[in-house]
């Protein structure tokens, strides 16, 4: 739900969602960490690998200094149930404790990179604040946002920023919190918020992810089919070349009474041996994975299970390529006439 950030709307949202775990609101503001009254090195909260526009500072613009700009996201509760935020270091915000005068801040990886590159004072200026804050960085998360961002509890921010700055708030609800959504909507309308200004969007993340996975599955299936076709063509080429070189041998076998079906089976078995090499590759992969996990002891290898389903599919695909690629050479070997032995 999108909520206007002016008037009494922010207070109504924060009071309604206080202590709730089935809904959370996000209020985004502009914040500058570092020297007060200077122009940040990434003016506009741009990523730090993007160069800032050159040129002279316009009239009234602050001078350049040691400061970085971030998108400050004030939260009424834990939003990790709605957005996949992974803690890289430190800890996430604790909403069960009493608000602190020194707000705890969790940075995303881009903001953490900027603070490592630029040594800035521990002072944060927020739009609409009565005074500059002294933040405490408690953790770093991965949020997928290319812009530097910081997360803070809204009740700790309200000590320094009494009201909103007019920007819209985003309220997220779980599927089972329909009654809470209706209650909040009624309270906002009673507080003077126009009903048409409350935009509601239903997001089915599971359906979107399932659609994307299905699309990726079909793409990889098509690539696997192409690789299988190339493998069949390779086995067919090798099989035909081998039969062409062994015409006299097969003719001699026919002359001594070897049945055509047995000759075809011999050639087909030889091509299937090529497909069985995938089973050997699977064994090497199992041994290699276990050896790497025990020797390297890398955190990324901890708890990694070997994909047996993919391994079985690979063996089946190898046997299928051997069978399809060896069928034509086997038929050709079975049809070699006995008279061909006279050319030996």
pLDDT of the chain, 344 residues: tens digit per residue: 788 777 778 888 888 888 888 888 888 888 899 888 888 888 888 888 876 655 444 444 566 778 899 999 989 888 888 888 889 899 999 988 888 888 899 999 999 998 888 888 888 888 878 888 888 899 999 988 889 999 999 888 888 887 666 677 888 888 888 788 888 888 888 888 877 777 777 766 677 788 888 898 899 888 888 888 887 888 888 888 888 888 888 888 888 888 888 888 888 888 887 777 766 777 777 777 777 777 776 666 666 676 777 777 777 877 888 888 888 888 888 888 877 666 65
Backbone Cα Rg of the chain: 34
Any long-range contacts for 183-191 (C-beta under 8 Å, 24+ apart)?
183/16, 184/1, 184/12, 184/13, 184/16, 184/17, 184/23, 185/1, 187/12, 187/16, 188/3, 188/9, 188/12, 188/13, 191/7, 191/8, 191/9, 191/12
Q: What per-residue confidence (pLDDT) applies to 237? A: 87
> How far apart (Å, rounded) are the C-alpha atoms in residues 64 and 118?
13
Q: What per-residue confidence (pLDDT) applies to 297? A: 66
Whether the CB-CB separation of 87 and 78 falls below 8 Å is answered with no
Q: What is the largest CA-CA distance in the chain?
A: 106
Whether the CB-CB separation of 104 and 156 falls below 8 Å is answered with yes
Give the three-class secondary structure for 322.
Answer: helix
Q: What per-residue confidence (pLDDT) applies to 342? A: 61
Q: What per-residue confidence (pLDDT) applies to 102? A: 87
> H or E stretch including 2?
strand 2-5
Query: What DSSP assignment string belongs to 81-139?
Result: TTS--EEEEE----SSSPP-SS-EEEEEHHHHHHHHHS---S-EEETT-SS-B--EEEE
125: exposed, middle or buried (Cβ count in 10 Å: 0-12, 13-18, 19+): buried
Q: What per-residue confidence (pLDDT) applies to 56? A: 44
Residues in the chain: 344
Residues 6+ apart with CB under 8 A from 118: 34, 41, 66, 68
Residue 223 in tokens: 């690539």
Whether the CB-CB separation of 21 and 77 falls below 8 Å is answered with yes
Q: What per-residue confidence (pLDDT) applies to 58? A: 44
> H or E stretch including 155?
helix 154-157
């Amino acid at each position: 739900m999108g909520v206007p950030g002016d008037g009494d709307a922010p207070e109504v949202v924060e009071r309604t969602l206080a202590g709730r775990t089935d809904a959370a609101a996000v209020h985004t503001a502009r914040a500058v960490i570092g020297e007060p009254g200077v122009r940040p090195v990434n003016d506009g909260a741009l990523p730090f690998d993007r160069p800032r526009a050159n040129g002279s500072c316009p009239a009234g613009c602050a001078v350049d200094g040691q400061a970085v700009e971030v998108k400050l996201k004030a939260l009424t509760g834990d939003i990790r149930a709605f957005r996949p935020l992974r803690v890289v270091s430190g800890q996430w915000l604790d909403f069960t404790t009493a608000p602190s005068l020194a707000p705890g801040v969790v940075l995303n990886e881009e903001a953490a990179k900027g603070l490592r590159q630029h040594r800035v004072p521990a002072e944060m200026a927020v739009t609409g604040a009565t005074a500059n804050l002294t933040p405490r960085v408690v953790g770093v998360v991965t949020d997928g946002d290319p812009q530097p961002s910081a997360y803070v509890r809204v009740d700790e921010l309200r000590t320094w920023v009494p009201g909103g700055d007019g920007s819209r708030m985003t309220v997220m609800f779980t599927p089972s919190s329909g009654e809470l959504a209706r209650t909040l909507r009624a309270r906002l309308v009673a507080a003077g918020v126009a009903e048409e200004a409350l935009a509601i969007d239903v997001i089915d993340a599971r359906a979107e992810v399932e659609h994307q996975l299905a699309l990726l599955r079909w793409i990889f299936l098509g690539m696997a089919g192409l690789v299988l076709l190339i493998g069949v063509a390779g086995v067919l080429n090798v099989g035909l070349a081998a039969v062409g070189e062994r015409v006299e041998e097969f003719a001699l076998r026919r002359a001594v009474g070897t049945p055509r079906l047995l000759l075809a089976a011999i050639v087909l078995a030889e091509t299937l041996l090529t497909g069985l090499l995938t089973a050997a590759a699977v064994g090497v992969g199992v041994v290699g994975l276990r050896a790497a996990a025990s020797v390297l002891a890398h955190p990324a290898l901890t708890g990694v299970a070997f994909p047996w389903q993919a391994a079985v599919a690979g063996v089946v695909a190898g046997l299928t390529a051997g069978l399809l690629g060896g069928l034509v050479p086997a038929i050709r070997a079975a049809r070699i006439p006995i008279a061909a032995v006279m050319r030996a």
